[in-house]
Amino acid sequence: MDAEKLLKHMAWANLEIIGKLQNLPDSALDAFSTNPEWTVREISRHICSSATWYGWRLLDKSQLSQPELDSLQKKLDATEIPAETAQQIPILLEKMREADAVLLEAARLPEGVIEREVDGKRIVRGRSTVISQAIHHATEHRAQLVSALEVRGFTSINLDDYDLWAYCDIFGE
């Protein structure tokens, strides 16, 4: 698996699709398909926050000082704030660029295990598993976002324009 290519595609597709929200009316951010809690606003925030969170999981935090950890936590917390208007989408895009850079750098490291504790239970995953989940997770939510838009009549984004074939046509293969 070429994780670098897949991460670069993910980052490009996320930026392109979420970037298109700037061109839609603010009401498009309130679009949802079946669950009103999963609006386009929430899905776009979730994609960004999750990319940041996956990067956080991949970091070797054992060598970081407390101020560095606090700074990283602030970055993670900042991704929990959704765009209120379409004009705020560039803020979200910048956070996504930062998160995607961390993921890409983490993908260049050798395979290893990532440990974490949840509710007192130790969970161990391979680095490639976390990276693969980050990629698949973003893909699922991009589809959810576009579906929510389409259900509410906003049909200007075609997912086929942002698949891996399109990425390779633009960036080469």
Q: What predicted TM-score, i.e. pTM, was given to this entire model?
A: 0.91
Q: Are 56 and 94 in contact (CB under 8 A)?
A: no
Read off φ and ψ for residue 83, nearest 5 degrees: -70, 130
Residue ranges in the chain assigned as alpha helix (H): 3-19, 40-58, 66-78, 89-107, 127-151, 164-171
Q: Are 136 and 11 in contact (CB under 8 A)?
A: no
CATH number of 3-168: 1.20.120
pLDDT at site 1:
54
For residues 6 and 76, the model is more confident at: 6
Give the tokens for residue 93: 């895009």
Residue 49 one-letter amino acid: S
Q: Residue ranges of the domains in the chain?
A: 3-168
Q: Give the model confidence (pLDDT) of 19-65 as tens digits.
A: 999 999 999 999 999 999 999 999 999 999 999 999 888 887 777 88
